[in-house]
Amino acid sequence: MSKQLTAQSPATPLILGKMGSAYGIRGWLKVFSSTEDAESIFDYQPWFIQRAGQWQLVELEGWKRHNQDMIIKVKGIDDRDTAGLLTNCEIVVDSGQLPELDGGDYYWKDLIGCQVVTTQGYELGKVTELMETGSNDVLVVRANLKDAFGAKERLIPFLDGQVIKNVDLATGSIEVDWDPGF
């Protein structure tokens, strides 16, 4: 009697990148990483993808840099057509695999959904995403429906100490020194 193998699934899924188009004829694919240092996407294993609503484990045979791109070879995928079926699949890991950060460092995923409040107690809204601007990261904050300043969205620079006064992940709140009229 053969045992059925069940694909594990990530307990707390976190998207780290995306599979790109097929590369060459031997089943290689381009890969796009959303990690700060692109190559560090390979530090987090195993990878999962979702196909037809099912989690699927992805085993890498190898990866390499090619010109400006990174390309990967997935185990069991040996031709261009099969590789093409993975194009645009999001690369997911279990966020439990991420290393603990030092105090004052945060993963973007932990800041999304946090309430942003000024030091004077004015509720600015919720963090919907973060942007990299080169000089510093920026919180994109969706304003509350009846915002007194008529704001729909605020862009608040993530400048620790200067603008960001306190991040409390336990309560999901970020205290900022920011003018709500901005």
What pLDDT sits at residue 3?
37
CATH classification at residue 146: 2.30.30.240
Residue 6 has pLDDT above 50, yes or no: no
Residues 88 and 124 grouped into a single domain: no
Last residue of a domain, one of 73, 96, 119: 96
**pLDDT over threshold 90, residue 7:** no
Per-residue pLDDT at 11: 84
Quote the domain boundaries for residue 43: 13-96
Region 67-75: mean pLDDT is 92
The last residue of one of the domains, among 49, 65, 96, is 96
Q: What pLDDT sits at residue 52?
A: 84
Is 7 inside any structural domain?
no
Per residue, the 3-state secondary structure of the chain, as one string, reads CCCCCCCCCCCCEEEEEEEEEEECCCCEEEEEECCCCHHHHHHCCCEEEEECCEEEEECEEEEEEECCEEEEEECCCCCHHHHHCCCCCEEEEEHHHCCCCCCCCCCHHHHCCCEEEECCCCEEEEEEEEEECCCCEEEEEECCCCCCCCCCEEEEECCECCCEEEEECCCCEEEECCCCCC
Residue-averaged pLDDT of the chain: 88
Residue 5: predicted pLDDT: 39
Mean pLDDT confidence for 149-168: 93
